[in-house]
Amino acid sequence: MTVSDRPTPTRLVLAAGQADRQYWRDLWHYRELLLILAWRDVSVRYKQTVVGIVWAFIRPFLTMVVFTVIFGHIAKVTTGTSAPYAIVVIGGLLPWTLFSSILGDASSSVVGNANLITKVYFPRLIIPLATVLVVVIDFAVSLSILAGLMIWYGVVPGWQILLMPLFTILALLASLGPAIWAAAIVVKYRDFRFVIPFVLQFGLYVSPVGFPSSVVPERWRLLYNLNPMVGIIDGFRWSIIGGESPIYLPGFILSLAVTAVFLWWGIHTFRRIERGFADII
Amino acid sequence: MTDTVIRAEGLSKKFIIGHKIERDGLLREAMTAGARTLFRKGADFLRGRVTNSPGQIEEFWALRDLDFEIRRGELVGIIGHNGAGKSTLLKILSRITEPTEGRVEIDGRVNSLLEVGTGFHPELSGRENIFLNGAILGMSRAEMRRRFDQIVEFSGVSKFIDTPVKRYSVGMYVRLAFAVAAHLEAEILVVDEVLSVGDAEFQSRCLNRMSEVAGSGRTVLFVSHNFAAVTALTRRSLVLEGGRLAFDGPVDSGLAHYTASLGKTERVRNWGRGKDATLISAKLVDSEGRATENFTPGTPLRLHVVVETTGMPGMSLAVTLRDQHNLPIGFYSSASFSNVPLPTSAGRYECVLSLDPLYLAAGEYGIDLQTTSTAIVVDHRVDGAVQFFVNACNPGDVGYDFRQDQGAGHLALRLNAPLRFVHLPTANTPNLHSEQRLG
C-alpha cells in the first residue's frame, strides 16, 4: 500500500468515555463552521423586520432612557461623579446587555440546533460560540449610543478609553462560562429555560448598572464583587469616565477569579454532557 | 492489514427506555424520582434486602457486540429491519453518538450524510444555503467555491439560486440539498437512506454520482431499503438483526439472508392480548406467500395475519393503512366491508387479506391491525403491526417516480380510458366554414 497518496492519515478511536484529545484541534478545524453559523444567525435575525439591525440600537437605548428618567430624575440616585447620569447608565448597560444577551441566547442555542446535533458531528462548543459572535455584532452597533451620548454631553474620554476593548473581552469571558454551562444543562433539564430569564432580570438589579458600585458600603464591597460583572462593569465605566469612577482593585481581581472559575466549570460541564447530546436532546 | 480503514470491536450501544427522566428531563421528575428511589432503597436496606432492580428503567441494546473490518475502497451496504440498529451504527461511525461498550478505530476523514439538507434555513437563499450546508457537512469554503458551479448545475435550480428556499417547491429543495451532498469530499462516506428523493430521472443521476464517488477509491457505507440501489452500489453487505451482526458477505447473499429472515422472525415481539380475539402475527407477503417488506404498486396488497379467538361470535378484523407521517389513508373492516366475522369455534387461525391493487406512491407505509367486537368496540389493537416500503411508483411506465414526499398524496390516479385532447373552436379563431365563405 502506498502511503504517499493519503492526505495526512488521522487515526480516530471511538469508545465509551474516550478522553478526546482531538477535541481542541477539531474545534480549530471547524472554525469556518463557527463563522458560517454566526453569519446565518445574523442574516436571519432581522429578516422580515422593518427596521432591521436598528433593533440592536433601540433596545439598549430605550432601557437607558428609562433608567435615566426613573433613577436619574425621579429617584435621583447619586453617582458621585460629575458625568451625566445617562453616560453612567450606558457605561453599565452596554456590558450588562452583552452579558445578558450571551447568557440568554447561548443557553437555548444547543436545544435550538437539535436538528444539527442529531445529524452531523462537529465540536458542539461551536454552537454557543456562534451565538456569542452574533451578540458581539449587536454590541458593536449599540456602541454608537455611547458615542452619540458622549458627543451630546460633550464628554471627552481620557486615555482610559483605549482599555475599553480589554473590558469588553473580560465581559465576554465572564458571560461565556455561565452561558456554556447553561447551554449544556438546558439540554438535559429544560427547566433552566425558565430559570435563566429570572436570573437575568434579577442580575440587572444586583449589578451596578443603574448606579456605580461605590454606593455599596465598603465592608460589603468585596462580597459584592463575587458577582463577576461588578468588577467588569466598573472597569468598563472607568474606561469611559476615567478617574471619577475608580476601579476597586481587590474586588476587580476577585471578579476576574470568579470569571475564570465559571469559565472552567462551564467548559468542563459542557464537555461532560456533550457526549450524550444526541441521545438526550 | 495496513488498508483497514474501519475496525469495530465488540461495539455496543445501550439506550435507556421507558424512563421518564431520560426522555423529558424535567428537574422536578428527576428530583421526585430520585427521592422515591432513595426512599425505596433505604426501605429495602432496612429490611436487609439489597435490590439491584432499577425500577422503571428498561435497558435496550440497539447494538450488541459488533465486530467487523472495512478496507479502503470497499463499498458496503448495511441492511436490516427497522430498529435493527442501522441508524445507530451510522451515528456511531459519524461520531454523533458514543458507543456504550467496545471501540471503533477509524483511519481517515469520515463524512456522513444522514439526511439531505441538514441545517438548511428557509429564510436564506439557495446560494447561501449551499455554503451553509457545505460547512455543516464539513467542507471548507475554498472547497465550496471550487465546486459551487458544479453543485448549482447538478441541482438544476440555477434560475432560483438567489430566492429564499422557503419559496422552493419540495422537489427543488430536495434537488438542491442533494446536489450539495453529492459533492461531498471524503475518504470515508457514510450515507443513510437519502437517495429516496426526487423523481426517477434525478434519482438515477444521484445513483450515477454515488457510483462515481464509490469508483474513485473511496470507502462508502450505505444504508437503504431500496434493494436496487444497494445492489447497484455495493459489493459487500452487513446484515443487522436486533442489534447483532447476522451476516457479513457478498451483497447478493446478504439480501437473500435478509429476505429469508423476514419470514423467520415474523415479528415475534409481544403484542399483548385482546379479550376475545388476539392478533398473533402479521406480515406482508408476495404472490407466492413469501414474507416481504416491499410492495409493488399495481399488485394486490397481501397481508398474512394470524389471529386467535375464543370463539366469541361477532368478532371481526380491521386494517388501517398509514403513510410515513402516520396519517390514516385507507381502511378495511371484515365486518363492515365484507360481512365476514371471525370463526366462532375457539382456536388459532391464519388468513390472507388480499386487497385490490393500489398504486401507492413510493415511500414508507405502516399498517395498524385491530380486532373488534360487533364492528365497534376495539378488542385488540396493534399499531404499526406491519411496515413496508414502496421503492418506486411509475404508474404509466414513462420513467416518472411518484413519491409520497412530493406532498401530492399517496395514490397515483390512473386513467381508465386513453387521454385525448380535442380542439375546441372559439369565437376568435375563425373556423373553416367562414374562411371559405370569405374567400
Task: Tell me the nearest-neighbour CA distance from B434 into chain A, angstroms.
Answer: 58
Determine whether the interchain pair B114/A120 forms a contact, defined as Cβ–Cβ distance below 8 Å. Answer: yes
Reply yes or no on whether the pLDDT at B322 is more than 90: no
In one-letter notation, the amino acid at residue B70 is I
Query: Is the separation of the CB atoms in A133 and A33 below 8 Å?
Result: no
pLDDT digits (tens, 9 = 90+) for B348-402: 999 999 998 889 998 889 898 989 887 677 888 887 888 888 888 887 777 777 8
Q: What is the pLDDT of residue A236?
A: 92
Query: How far is residue B260's CA from residue B256's CA, in Å, rounded to a whole number?
Result: 6
DSSP assignment of A7-72, as one string? SS--EEEEETT---TTHHHHHHHTHHHHHHHHHHHHHHHTTT-SSGGGHHHHHHHHHHHHHIIIII
Q: Where in chain B is the domain with CATH 2.70.50.60?
A: 268-395
B161-166 mean pLDDT: 91
Whether B33 has a pLDDT exceeding 70, the answer reads: no
For chain A, list the strands marked E by DSSP.
11-15
Residues of A with Cβ-Cβ distance to B109 under 8 angstroms: 7, 10
B251-272 pLDDT per residue, tens:
888 888 887 776 554 444 567 7
**B132–A275: do the CB atoms touch at under 8 Å?**
no
- Interface test with chain B among A120, A185, A273, by most B beta carbons within 10 Å: A120
Domain boundaries B268-395, CATH class: mainly beta
**Which helix (H) or strand (E) segment is A178 a member of?**
helix A164-188
Total beta-carbon pairs less than 8 A apart between chain A and chain B: 118
Say which amino acid occupies A103.
Answer: L
Q: What percent of chain B has pLDDT over 90?
A: 15
In this complex, do B25 and A121 lie within 8 Å of one another by their Cβ atoms? no
pLDDT at B245 over 50: yes
Average pLDDT over residues A138-163: 89
B198 band by pLDDT with thresholds 50, 70 and 90: low
Whole-angstrom distance, CA of residue A235 vs CA of residue A245 = 9
Give how far Cα A34 sits from Cα of A125, A140, B123, Å. Answer: 9, 19, 19
Q: What is the pLDDT of residues A141-153, one digit of tens each?
A: 899 999 999 999 8
pLDDT (0 to 100) of residue A2? 35
Lowest mean pLDDT among A174-183, B302-311, B322-331, B413-422: B322-331
Confirm or reject contact between A47 and chain B (CB < 8 A). yes
- CA proximity to A82, closest of A21, A2, A154, A135: A154
The share of chain A scoring above pLDDT 70, in percent, equals 94
State mean pLDDT over B100-104.
90
Lookup: cell for B364:
414508507
Burial B99-120 (b: 16+ CB within 10 A, else e): bbbbebbbbbbbbbbbbbbbbb
Q: What percent of chain A has pLDDT over 90?
A: 36
Distance of CA B180 to the CA centre of its chain: 22
Q: Tell me which of 3.75.10.10, 3.40.50.300, 3.30.2270.10, 1.20.1260.10 is the CATH number of domain B62-263.
A: 3.40.50.300
A117 to chain B, minimum CA–CA distance in Å?
Answer: 7
Label residue A1 by pLDDT band (50, 70, 90).
very low
Give this complex's ipTM.
0.81
Average pLDDT, chain A: 86
Highest mean pLDDT among A90-104, B34-48, B371-385: A90-104
pLDDT given at position A94:
93
pLDDT on residue B372: 86
Residue A190: Cβ within 10 Å count: 15
Q: Please report the pLDDT score of residue B38 as a whole number.
A: 65
Instruction: Give pLDDT tens digits for A26-69.
Output: 888 888 899 999 999 988 888 778 887 888 888 888 988 998 88
pLDDT of amino acid B199: 62
Test mutation, A36, A42, A271, A275, chain B, max B CBs within 10 A: A36
pTM of the model: 0.71
Residue A178 clears pLDDT 90, i.e. is over it: yes
Pick the more confident residue, B11 or B233: B11
Q: What pLDDT does residue B286 have?
A: 87
Reported as a single tens digit per residue, the pLDDT across A184-217 is 999 888 888 889 999 999 998 889 888 888 888 8
- Asked whether residue A18 carries a pLDDT value surpassing 70, the answer given is no
Averaged pLDDT for residues B291-313: 89
- Band (pLDDT 50/70/90 cuts) for residue B26 is low
Contact indicator for A183, A109 with CB cutoff of 8 Å: yes
Q: Is residue B289's pLDDT more than 90?
A: no
Question: Would you place residue B161 in the very low, low, confident or very high pLDDT band (cuts 50, 70, 90)?
Answer: very high
C-alpha cell at B185: 469530499
pLDDT at B92 over 70: yes
pLDDT tens, A101-137? 999 999 999 998 988 898 888 899 999 999 999 999 9
CB contact A144 to B (< 8 Å) = no
**If we measure between CA atoms, which residue out of B305, B304, B432, B327 comes closest to residue B380?**
B305
